Amino acid sequence: MANIVQFENVGLRYGNGAETLSDVSFTLTTGSFYFLTGPSGAGKTSLLKLLYLAQRPSRGVIRLFGEDAVTLPRARLPGFRRRIGVVFQDFRLVPHLSAYDNIALPLRVAGVPEADVAVPVNEMLAWVGLSDRADAPPPTLSGGEQQRIAIARAVIGRPEILVADEPTGNVDPDMAERLLHLFDSLNRLGTTVVVATHDYELLQRIPAARMMRLERGKLIDPTGQMRFPPASDGAR
């Protein structure tokens, strides 16, 4: 199976401080499912930023879709980013747009005819249980509702890579189960999924998924063979 993501000796430094990520190397094959775990401050969000091209590394090689993402011309970045769905920890919904229009945004940016937008958007609204909130702007939604809208927006275009930063942190256990089922379904259709999470119980819900663990900016077991966290992290 082809590699869709390759990191080779990647380091990330903000300003003149110490490296946030050091010598990170791993490979993701097309259609794989990985959980990214580790304690707060380990560098999970920074690693995800490199994956969805919001940040360039200080050193090392990153290849996405078979191309060098570090030297990618700025003009090509939007096209690459449209192939990557992102669920942000802070949602990043457009406040003046309705829930419906937030979900529809990736389709419209991609040039999907308006006549073909309504059906998938309404299906996503129903799936995340928010059909009755389609006209609501994000400031009127609860944190859990905003999270569900953010996830629907990220997956509606069936991205080749889905990156999710703590996607179940603001929803109840039942909704977390439904969202994880959605990620699993997308993965079975071929989407490569990377989910950063503190919830180690999630790891048991997707038996085929692997786990990458960050500790102090270094990747532990990049092959993903380790399935359970150390006992000291069990309560995180």
**What digits encode the pLDDT tens for the residues 159-174?**
999 999 988 877 788 8
pTM over 0.75: yes
The pLDDT of residue 223: 60
pLDDT in tens, 218-234: 998 666 555 544 444 54
The pLDDT of residue 1: 67
From the number of C-beta atoms within 10 Å of its C-beta (0-12, 13-18, 19+), residue 135 rates as exposed
Query: CATH for 32-55+77-213+221-233?
Result: 3.40.50.300
The pLDDT of residue 181: 84
Q: What is the pLDDT along the chain (236 residues), one digit of tens a residue?
A: 689 999 999 999 998 889 999 999 999 999 999 999 988 889 999 999 999 999 999 999 999 999 999 999 999 998 899 999 999 988 999 999 999 999 999 999 989 999 999 999 999 999 888 999 999 999 999 988 998 999 999 999 889 999 999 888 777 888 788 888 888 888 998 999 999 987 777 777 787 888 899 999 999 866 655 554 444 454 33
Beta-carbon contacts of residue 223 (< 8 Å; ≥ 6 apart): 210
| CA atoms of 87 and 72, how far apart (whole Å) | 23
**For residues 177 and 201, is the Cβ–Cβ distance under 8 A?**
no
The pLDDT of residue 222: 64
| CA atoms of 114 and 104, how far apart (whole Å) | 9
pLDDT in tens, 190-222: 999 999 987 777 777 787 888 899 999 999 866
Q: How far apart are the first and last CA of the chain?
A: 34
